[in-house]
Amino acid sequence: MISLTQAQPATVTADALVIVLARRPDGPVPLGDVPEVVADLVASAADVLALTGDPDEVHRLPAAGLRARSLVLTGAGDGAAPESVRRAVGAATRALAGLANAAVVLPDDGLATLTAAAEGALLGAYTFTRYRTQDQADRRSGAPLEQVQLLLGHRATKVETRAVERAQVVVEAVHTVRDLVNTAPNDLYPAAFADAARAAAKGVKGVKVTVLDEKALAAGGFGGLIGVGQGSARPPRLVKVTYTPSRAKQSVALVGKGITFDSGGISLKPHANMDEMKSDMAGAATVLASVLAAARLGLPVAVTAWCALAENMPSGTAQRPSDVLTINNGTTVEVLNTDAEGRLVLADALAAAVGEGPDLVIDAATLTGAQIISLGRRVAAVMGTDDARDQVVAAAGAAGESMWPMPLPEDLKDGLKSKVADLANVGERWGGSLLAGLFLAEFVGTTPWAHIDFAGPAYNTSGPYGYTPDGGTGMGVRTMVAVLESRCEH
């Protein structure tokens, strides 16, 4: 929970007073208005601890002379850009797990900074404890920081209050994604995801959830979902979540890859790190959380989320390399590698989504290892039609998420030729993310479309940083909400 207050740094009561430090050549300086007693504490701490103000440099000290119980210094690097503030405040609240409340000195009095600080504070206050069985005391220290006061210095305006309310809705959506991604795949299979979607949508105004089970999928010609899901004892689902506001000039379809576990199927993956493939439903979680956030924010844009859910397993009923599937739009696909399953379920969902004539379609998917090779673990790849792709990249930049535009070179498409069907699901290895994007393009027709491949950024295996915890990151939600908001201005 976040609140805006007029309280002053030296006199506010809290378990921790958080100060953001900027890196400067002569040593770090506190951002925002701090009284001398705080400035002196910061200066001596910076000296004794040899602080630099680097990102992720977080220290907690006794707060002599203040009403707060402790002083927390968190580095923001060189700038005071909103994303630097978001990260610095998030790193601080993440370090304060187990405490009840903190007060944050705002680095300046701009609305963008306020939004970033609110988002950062909430994003950092996350822990996943579902499977921990320690006693109450342990569990308490694993609980996220409960309360954050932002020291505004004046009475909050309507606009400021609304910015904080929006931040709470958006970050709650991010936490929903993190929880779903972190949930073990024995608990989160396609039907369980569908139940979770129904539960999450309950009571949200203007939202309707429709679930197609395996019988409906077979009858409806969803060959991709059926083919990928047929090796599992837990059958596939297509979950459609529609948000229909009373007045909407635009409609957007969001499509998410929802492989609740990706073993590779008969084209089995190596065992090292296979556990990470519980995160292969991050796209579906992202679109689900995003449509619910749009509804909670009451955005005047119609949004439909499509969660393409299946478990990719090897078994006697699994699909084989050389099987031919018929996707929802009639296109036939020869499955040459059962581990290239995401594009098969997405093909079905994209074809169904564009069939309803949206103004824009965006898909999110942990689609290719090649995305991690090309852009690393923190930057997502965006492909699609030029304008839609650029809009998504711009929205990501504004929201503080790292996404980068990638091309869809026509000449690579030859790689997807099949000797027997319209398309093969794999081609040559080089440019693997682009080839996957070209495959998806076959199913979106002429609808403006952006494809986000966040195989790396959706799941963090390299230790927490900034506001990003281990495991599910929830990356993508902020960008999706930003795109939907920008659509309201049209």
Catalytic amino acids?
Answer: 269, 343
Burial of 221 (0-12, 13-18, 19+ CB in 10 A): middle
Strand spans (E) along 263-402: 302-312, 324-326, 332-334, 360-365, 380-384
Report, in Å, the least distance between residue 377 CB and ligand BES.
9
Which residue's CB is nearer to Zn ion, number 207 or number 281? 281
Residue 206 or 369: the one with the smaller Cβ distance to ligand BES is 369
User: For Zn ion, which residue has the nearest CB?
Assistant: 262
Q: Is 57 in the site for Mn ion (CB under 5 A)?
A: no
Report in angstroms the alpha-carbon separations of 124 from 113, 118, 408: 16, 10, 36
* CA-based nearest residue to 408, from 378, 391, 388, 424: 388
- Which parts of 231-362 fold into alpha helices (H)? 282-297, 342-354
Question: E-assigned strands of 218-250?
Answer: 237-243
Of 256 and 342, which has the nearer Cβ to Zn ion?
342
Q: Do 202 and 248 form a contact (C-beta atoms < 8 A)?
A: no
Identify the CA nearest to 334 among candidates 216, 435, 439: 439
Q: Pick the stretch among 82-90, 106-114, 336-344, 350-358 that binds Mn ion (CB under 5 A).
A: 336-344
**Nearer CB in complex with ligand BES: 154/320:** 320
Token output for 306: 């499509």
Residue 112 φ then ψ, to 5°: -65, -40
Closest-by-Cβ residue to ligand BES is 369
> Contacting Mn ion (CB under 5 A), which of 214, 262, 323, 348?
262
311 interface partner picked from Mn ion, Zn ion, ligand BES, none, CB below 5 to 8 A per type:
none
- Among ligand BES, Mn ion, Zn ion, none, the one that 369 touches (CB under a kind-dependent 5 to 8 A) is ligand BES
- Compare residues 242 and 366 and give the one whose CB is closer to Mn ion: 366
Q: Which is nearer to ligand BES, 251 or 368 (CB)?
A: 368
CB 445 within 8 A of CB 365: no
Smallest distance, Å, CB 456 to ligand BES?
A: 7
Cα–Cα distance, 382 to 385 (Å, whole number): 10
Q: Number of residues interacting with Zn ion: please give it, by CB under 5 A.
A: 4
Q: Does the footprint of Zn ion cover residue 259 (CB under 5 A)?
A: yes
Q: How many whole angstroms separate alpha carbon 269 and alpha carbon 258?
A: 18
| Residues 417-456, mask of contacts with ligand BES (x by CB under 6 A) | ---------x-----x----------------------x-
349-368 residues in contact with ligand BES (CB under 6 A) are 366-368
Rule CB under 5 A: choose which of 83, 119, 214, 262 binds Zn ion.
262
Chain centroid, CA 68 distance in Å = 34
Answer with the entry of Zn ion, Mn ion, ligand BES, none that 253 interacts with (C-beta below 5 to 8 A by kind). Answer: none
Q: How far is CA 287 from CA 128, 165, 254, 258, 365, in A?
A: 21, 21, 6, 10, 10
And the tokens for 144? 């996220």
Among 339, 363, 442, 485, binds ligand BES (CB under 6 A): 339
Which tokens go with 375?
A: 């852009």
Instruction: Name which of 262 and 348 has its Cβ closer to Mn ion.
Output: 262
CA distance linking residue 24 with residue 232, whole number of Å: 56
Given 370, 382, 383, 477, the residue binding ligand BES (CB under 6 A): 370
Of 472, 447, 434, the closest CA to residue 284 belongs to 472
Shortest Å distance, C-beta 456 to Zn ion: 13
Cβ pair 240, 304 in contact under 8 A: yes
Q: Rule CB under 5 A: say whether 339 interacts with Mn ion.
A: yes
The residue ranges that bind Zn ion (CB under 5 A) are: 259, 262, 280, 342
Contact residues for Mn ion, defined by CB under 5 A: 262, 339, 341
For ligand BES, the binding residues (CB under 6 A) are 262, 280, 337, 339-342, 366-370, 426, 432, 455
